[in-house]
């Protein structure tokens, strides 16, 4: 009798651990164009690539401290890995991209990165992002 109770307890523990382990698979920004802290000439597009299918809930592009730039964003109804937005000619200086997604696991994740537009900048290229640039909710 004690052996069956012990086996049931182990089986129950294993079954409960499986969903818990998959709950940590939050969507994360894996790369972007332009890249984080890149110094570029005015890019034609803003591209966000995520590690999983996500819905993009919020996206803002701000020049300097408070000049919002319209990128034609509307919240995503379909989950996907890549989001692309055409950009107008950007002013010289620092630009900050703020984003919020909801992953397939239902968790909301926010993050931000910045890039600098400069006459002497490089052509914008896709750049990988590190995991510590995101905030899980």
- Give the pLDDT confidence of 81-136 residue by residue, as tens digits: 999 999 999 999 999 999 999 998 899 999 999 999 999 888 877 788 875 555 54
d(CA 87, CA 71): 6
Instruction: With beta carbons less than 8 A apart as the criterion, state whether 113 and 129 touch.
Output: yes
Q: Which of 121, 136, 132, 99 is CA-nearest to residue 37?
A: 121
Class of domain 26-136: mainly beta
| Residue in 97, 104, 51 with CA at minimum distance from that of residue 73 | 97
Digit-coded pLDDT (tens) for 30-87: 999 999 999 999 999 999 999 999 999 999 999 999 999 999 999 988 999 999 999 9
Average pLDDT over residues 13-28: 51
What's the pLDDT at 20?
A: 41
pLDDT of residue 27: 85
Query: What is the model's pLDDT at position 132?
Result: 52
pTM value surpassing 0.85: no
Looking at residue 131, its pLDDT comes to 57
Check residue 3 and give its pLDDT: 53
What pLDDT sits at residue 125? 78
Q: Encoding tokens for residue 108?
A: 């909301």
């Amino acid at each position: 009798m004690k052996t069956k109770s012990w086996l049931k307890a182990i089986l129950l523990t294993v079954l409960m651990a499986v969903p818990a382990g998959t709950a940590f698979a939050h969507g994360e920004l894996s790369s972007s164009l332009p890249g984080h802290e890149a110094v570029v000439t005015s890019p034609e597009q803003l591209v966000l690539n995520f590690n999983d299918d996500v819905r993009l809930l919020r996206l803002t592009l701000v020049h300097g401290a408070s000049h919002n730039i319209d990128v034609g964003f509307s919240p995503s109804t379909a989950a996907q890995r890549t989001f692309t937005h055409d950009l107008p000619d950007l002013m010289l200086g620092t630009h900050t991209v703020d984003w919020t997604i909801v992953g397939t696991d239902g968790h909301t994740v926010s993050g931000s990165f910045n890039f600098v537009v400069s006459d002497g900048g490089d052509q914008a290229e896709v750049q990988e992002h590190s995991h510590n640039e995101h905030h899980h909710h």
